Amino acid sequence: MALGSAIEWTEATWNPTTGCTKISSGCKNCYAATLSKRLKSMGLQKYKNEFEYTEHNADIELPLGWKKPKKIFVNSMSDLFHEESTMEFVGKCFSTMVKANWHTYQVLTKRPNKMAEFSKLFYSYFGFEIPNHVWMGTTVENGDNVWRIDELRKVRCNVRFISFEPLIGSVGTVDLSGIDWAIIGGESGYGYRQVEKEWITEIIDQCKKQKVSVFFKQWGGIRPKSGGRKIDGKIYDEYPKINNTSDLVEPILA
């Protein structure tokens, strides 16, 4: 786990799994795949399998050791709902999130159908929906993947978000009902694909009309901060508006 993060919308990262499989156009220049190769060459045992999906039992309870509340991005180097992930392992990770409920967890996937399936199991086991301090999100990088929003709406949770990053095409008109937060960002790194202003503003305009909080992360470029974060002279730094009263639940743990 990293106590600090260069990702603007979070404060720490927790990677109980590493590695993934590229499944859509947004994955083409995956930073995690490149970084995993570098970490393996540096001799980090956790990345001995490089970018092959791997579950790390030793890291499941790491957030319990952090006593100061933080926003934690879950799996910046993987996808917890990867095709090879086991529901048992995912359940253990969520058990940690329920126990260490002084943190806020941001769980992002490109596989919201499996996330929705897991949320039903979560409810059956714990007796309540995934609580407010665990935000459930999916990535939509262009119009081809707007279907993921419908799948995200099936997730039994209180807070849902979309990461429109890397934004590599127009998403068109989107239904944002049931969505609390939108992250927007251009691609960065070697071979980055240029984001167009209209793609960004069409999302911001729809978020405003549908009352969804907006966080514009970056224009992107060779480096994440190459283009800055302002659009039309404004920085969008919004987070979900949450009613915390429904988050006061007692964990039901075996």
Give me the pLDDT at residue 41, please: 97
Number of other CB atoms surrounding residue 178 within 10 Å: 15
Tell the CATH topology of 12-243: TIM Barrel (3.20.20)
- Residue 85 makes CB contacts below 8 A (sequence gap 6+) with 17, 53, 55, 79, 114
Give me the pLDDT at residue 2, please: 62
Give me the pLDDT at residue 183, please: 98
Number of other CB atoms surrounding residue 177 within 10 Å: 10
Give me the pLDDT at residue 5, please: 81
Give me the pLDDT at residue 231, please: 97
Whether 14 contacts 3, CB under 8 Å: no
Q: Please, which residues bridge with residue 29 across strands?
A: none
SS3 of 177-211: the string is CCCCEEEEECCECCCCCCCCHHHHHHHHHHHHHCC
d(CA 105, CA 14): 9
Positions of the chain with pLDDT under 70: 1-4, 244-254
